Amino acid sequence: MRTKIGIVGCGDISGIYLTNITGMFKDTLEIVGVCDLKEEKAKKASEGHGNLRIFKDMHELFADPSVEIVLNLTRPYEHFDVTMAAINAGKHVYSEKPLGATLEEGRKLRDAAAKQGVHLAGAPDTFLGAGIQTCRKLIDDGYIGTPVAATALWASPGHESWHPDPAFYYQFGGGPMLDMGPYYVTALVSLLGAVTRVCGMAQTSRPTRLITSQPHNGTIVKVETPTHIAGQMQFAGGVTASVITSYDVQAHNLPKIEVHGTHGSISVPDPNTFGGDVRLYRPEKKEFLEFPLTFNYPENSRGLGLNDMAAALKENRSPRAGIDLIFHVLEVMTGFLRSSEEKTFVNIESHPQRPAEM
């Protein structure tokens, strides 16, 4: 029997979810209906995927007893209000990243879900794909020996030259760490385990950004969040890792993620994808060599975490992308910003178990 999904938010990211839920996961998931503050977006989403029911607002969607999981695809600064309302309505929720715009928002959502007895899970789910799962297997099987260090980098000049509606990336709840950091931090936690403490430095290079993409060409956006964050992470197992996310870099030629051990290194594929090239370095080979993917889901499988959540409800287990993981990632990311402000190390209080291997 398929798990029934209600979708709140029909913006850009909704397209791949709608496509995969009605295609890749059609045997396990079913969309009850959609809603959006802009009716034309909901109508477009509905018509493009079998004339789905359009709810007048999220509260009507929450009131539908057939909806089992609410898929929250709203903008980052709206995640808290939508998720909290769904939880209070007694619904399980899968939210796009980040869980909340602040650690306090995340804590309130975690506590509310526990009180209501509902599951809360969320993006990113890319770590469940073939690329990172293959890397995890290589690490767990000792191909690089004992992990000792890792690096992660995502950097671009920003979204204002190409994104159709880039303003929210520079507003509360935005910024490169809360936007792209979830992919990188989640991947590292999946590979290496929980983080125990962090430190960070953050800066804002420009007070405003000029949008040059359509349809908002010429609009000046006030920057309300740091646009370059450099952080250090210490893991419970002793590994140290550096991570940089930035909207201030024109171009770079550095790897997305690398994990280094006592007997080798792994070049991890882009954690914003499900597949990608895995490259393994062993001293006897003297070079990085491509390693074949050994798990399923190498293609764009957005919704894989939602599908796993639906399975978890039936199997009476925790979702792999569940609240323990996504709250921990939020605590780490906001910890970088707090460390920068307070000029000190920040201890991470949450200690989730690594999600089960796929």
- Mean per-residue pLDDT for 148-177? 96
Closest CA to 297 of 326, 322, 320, 328: 320
- Single-letter amino acid, residue 272: N
For β-strands 287-291 and 278-282, DSSP reports them as antiparallel
What separation in angstroms does the CA of 10 have from each of 73, 202, 286?
Answer: 7, 32, 49
Token couple for 111: 């506590």
- The mean pLDDT value of the chain amounts to 97
**Looking at residue 57, what is its pLDDT?**
97
The size of the chain, in residues, is 358
Are 28 and 310 in contact by the 8 Å Cβ rule? The answer is yes
Give tens-digit pLDDT for 230-265: 999 999 999 999 999 999 999 999 999 999 999 999
Is pLDDT at 19 greater than 90 in this prediction?
yes
Query: Which residues have a Cβ under 8 Å from the Cβ of 245 and sit 6 or more positions away?
Result: 153, 154, 155, 176, 177, 179, 180, 181, 184, 228, 229
- Locate the DSSP E strands across 73-178: 92-95, 120-122, 147-155
Q: What's the confidence (pLDDT) of residue 288? A: 97
pLDDT beyond 90 at 48: no
pTM assigned to the model: 0.97
Strand, helix or coil for residue 78: helix
Task: Please enumerate in sequence order all residues whose Cβ is within 8 A of that of 308, keeping only pairs 6 or more positions apart, or say none.
Answer: 125, 128, 319, 320, 321
CA dist., res. 247 & res. 176, Å (int): 6
**Cβ within 8 Å of residue 116, ≥6 positions away:** 87, 88, 90
> Which residue carries 């920057």 as its tokens?
223
Residue 346's pLDDT is 98
Q: What angle do CA 45, 48, 51 make, to 5 degrees?
A: 85
Short-list 314, 250, 302, CA closest to 4: 314
C-alpha span between 183 and 242 (Å, rounded): 14
pLDDT at position 52: 96
pLDDT over 90 (residue 214): yes
Average pLDDT for 279-302: 97
Q: With pLDDT > 90 as the criterion, what percentage of the chain qualifies? A: 99
Query: Does the pLDDT at position 310 exceed 90?
Result: yes
Average pLDDT, integer, range 4-23: 97
